Chain A
Amino acid sequence: MEALEMYTVDPNDDVYTEELKLNLGPQHPSTHGVLRVELKVDGEIITASRCDIGYLHRCAEKIGENVTYLQFTPYTDRMDYLASMNNNLAWSLTVEKLLGVEAPERAQWIRVIVAELNRIASHLIAFGTYGIDIGANTPFFYAFRERESIMALLERPSGARMLYNYVHPGGVAHDIEDGWLEDVLAFCDEFEMRWKEYNTLLSHNAIFIGRTANIGVIPKDMALDYGLTGPVLRASGVSWDLRRDVPYLAPYDDLEFDVPVGEGTHGTLGDCWDRYWVRMREMMESIRIIRQACPRVPAGPFMDKAMNRMYKTPLKPEPGEAYMRCENPRGELGFYVVAEGGTSPIRCRTRAPSFCNLSVLDALLPGTMIADGVAIIGSLDIVLGEVDR
Chain B
Amino acid sequence: MGAIRDYFGNISSALTTAAKGMRITWRYFKHEPPITIQYPRERVEPPPSYRGLHILQQDKCIDCHLCAKACPVDCIEIEAIHHGRTLEWKQFSIDYKKCIFCEFCIPVCPVDCIHMTSEYELATEDPDGMVEDLLTWTGLRPEDQRAVEAAVNKKKGVAAPATIESAKGAPEPGSAEDKAAKIAAIKARLKKGSA
Question: Which A residues, 58 to 73, have Cβ-Cβ distances below 8 Å to chain B?
Answer: 67, 70-73
Flag if B47 contacts A206 (CB, 8 Å). no
Q: Determine, out of B54-62, B103-111, B128-136, B173-181, the stretch whose residues face the partner at the interface.
A: B103-111
Is A165 close to B, CB under 8 A?
yes
Q: Which residues of B contact A73 (CB under 8 A)?
A: 102
Q: Are A157 and B107 in contact (CB under 8 A)?
A: no
Query: What is the CA–CA distance of A156 and B167 in the complex, to the nearest angstrom?
Result: 21
Asked if residues A160 and B24 are in contact (CB atoms below 8 Å), the reply is no
Does B14 sit at the interface, judged by CB under 8 A?
yes
Contact B21 A200 (CB under 8 A): yes
Q: Which of A188-218 contact B (CB under 8 A)?
A: 197, 200-202, 204-207, 210
Which residues of B are found within 8 Å of A177, using beta-carbon distances? 49, 159-160
Mark each residue of chain A from 272 to 283: 1 if its CB lies under 8 Å from any CB of chain B, else 0. 000000000000
Contact B103 A159 (CB under 8 A): yes
The chain B residue with its CB closest to the CB of A207 is B14
User: Does A312 lie within 8 Å of B66, measured CB to CB?
Assistant: yes
What band does the interface of chain A fall in when counting residues whose beta carbon is under 8 Å from B? Answer: 20 to 34
Q: Does B38 contact A (CB under 8 A)?
A: no
> For residue A67, which residue of chain B has the nearest CB?
B72
Residue contact A70 to B51, C-beta cutoff 8 Å: no
Mask of A138-167 contacts with B, CB within 8 angstroms, 1/0: 100000010010000001111110010100
Closest to B51 in A: A159
User: Are A156 and B49 in contact, CB atoms less than 8 angstroms apart?
Assistant: yes
> Which of B16, B18, B20, B21 has most chain A Cβ within 10 Å?
B21
Q: Flag if A206 contacts B50 (CB, 8 Å).
A: no
Q: Which chain A residues lie closer than 8 Å to B72 at the CB level?
A: 67, 71-72, 74-75
In B97-119, the 8 Å CB interface with A consists of 100-104, 107-108, 116
**A174: which of B17, B18, B49, B100 is its contact (CB, 8 Å)?**
B49
Residues of A within 8 A of B46 (CB): 155
Nearest CB on B from A90, distance (A)? 17
Known contacts A159-B50, A159-B116, A174-B154; A311 and B10 CB within 8 A of each other: no
Rounded to whole angstroms, the CA-CA distance of A286 and B160 in the bound complex is 30
B18 touching A205 by the CB < 8 A rule?
yes
A175 within 8 A of B: yes
Q: Is A10 an interface residue (CB 8 A)?
A: no
Task: Let me know if B157 is at the binding interface, CB within 8 A.
Answer: yes
Q: How far is the CA of A175 from the CA of B156 in the complex (A)?
A: 11
Contact B17 A207, beta carbon cutoff 8 Å: yes
How many angstroms between the C-alpha atoms of A145 and B32 in the bound complex? 13
The answer to whether the Cβ of A178 comes within 8 Å of any Cβ in the partner chain is yes
**B25 in contact (CB, < 8 A):** yes
The complex places the Cα of A145 from the Cα of B103 at a distance, in Å, of 28
- The smallest C-beta distance from A207 to any residue of chain B, in angstroms, reads 5
Q: Which residues between 24 and 80 of chain A lie within 8 Å of chain B, taking CB atoms?
A: 67, 70-75
Nearest Cβ on chain B to A273's Cβ, whole angstroms: 14
With A159-B116, A174-B49 in contact, is A311–B159 under 8 Å at CB? no
Q: Does B17 contact A160, Cβ atoms closer than 8 Å?
A: no
Other-chain contact of A165, B70, B102, B154 (Cβ < 8 Å): B102
Q: Mark B127-163 against chain A: 1 for CB-CB distance below 8 A, else 0.
A: 0000000000000000000000000001001011000
| Distance (whole angstroms) from the CB of B114 to the closest CB of chain A | 13
Q: Does A173 contact B (CB under 8 A)?
A: yes
Nearest B residue to A313 via CB reads B108
- Provide the bound-state CA to CA distance between A145 and B34, in Å: 11
Q: Cα distance A75–B72 when bound, in Å?
A: 9
Tell me if B13 is interfacial: C-beta within 8 Å of chain A: yes
List A contacts of B104 (CB < 8 A): 70-71, 74, 311
Q: Is B35 at the interface (CB under 8 A from chain A)?
A: yes
Q: How far is the CB of B22 from chain A (nearest CB, A)?
A: 9
Interface residues as binary, A301-321 with B (CB distance below 8 Å gives 1, 0 otherwise): 000000000011000000000
Contact B24 A155 (CB under 8 A): no
Q: Is the CB of A165 within 8 A of B103?
A: yes
17 intermolecular pairs with C-beta atoms under 8 Å apart: A67-B72, A71-B70, A138-B25, A157-B49, A158-B49, A159-B51, A160-B51, A177-B49, A178-B159, A200-B24, A201-B21, A201-B24, A202-B21, A204-B17, A205-B21, A311-B70, A312-B108
